[in-house]
């Protein structure tokens, strides 16, 4: 590695590998944008029963996570970042 590279954040080879891993996770999940949108709407519907969420700020994506089976491998996972505006404190109907 050259002297100038030392100051760079990350070499492009590693960036390529990380980007590829991410894009392939969603490619392989075979999840079309339409299905993702439907899923997102369903999730909004369920959570909205209990609390008010910030729809603009929410983000749902398929990415990967370390498996918890101790194998050290990673697998696909759904990540949902859903900001809460207000806890409604709705009482659940009994």
Partner 1 sequence: MGEVIVVTSGKGGVGKTTTTANVGTGLAKLGKKVVLIDTDIGLRNLDVVMGLENRIVYNLVDVIEGNCRIKQALIKDKRLDTLYLLPSAQTKDKSAVNPEQMKKLAEQLKDEFDYIIMDCPAGIEQGFQNAIAGADSALVVTTPEVSAVRDADRIIGLLDANEMKQIHLIVNRLRNQMVKDNNMLSSDDVVEILGVDLIGVVPDDEQIIVSTNNGEPLVGTEALAGQAYMNICRRLLGEEVELLDLNGKKGLFSKIGNLFKKN
* Nearer CB in complex with partner 1: 19/90: 19
Report if residue 23 touches partner 1, rule: CB under 8 A: yes
Report if residue 67 touches partner 1, rule: CB under 8 A: no
Q: Which residues contact 81 (CB under 8 A, 6 or more apart)?
A: 57, 58, 59, 60
> Shortest CA distance to 50 belongs to which of 82, 94, 89, 81?
89
Tokens for 38, please give them. 């439907």
Report if residue 12 touches partner 1, rule: CB under 8 A: yes
| Site for partner 1, rule CB under 8 A | 1-2, 5, 11-14, 16-17, 19-21, 23-24, 27-28
């Amino acid at each position: 590695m050259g002297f100038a590279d030392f100051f760079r954040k990350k070499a492009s080879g590693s960036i390529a590998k990380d980007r590829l891993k991410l894009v392939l996770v969603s490619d392989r999940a075979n999840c079309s944008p339409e299905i993702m949108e439907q899923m997102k709407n369903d999730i909004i519907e369920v959570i909205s029963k209990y609390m008010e969420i910030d729809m603009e700020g929410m983000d749902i994506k398929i990415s990967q996570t370390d498996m918890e089976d101790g194998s050290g491998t990673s697998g696909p996972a759904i990540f949902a970042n859903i900001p809460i505006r207000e806890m409604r404190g709705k009482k659940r109907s009994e």
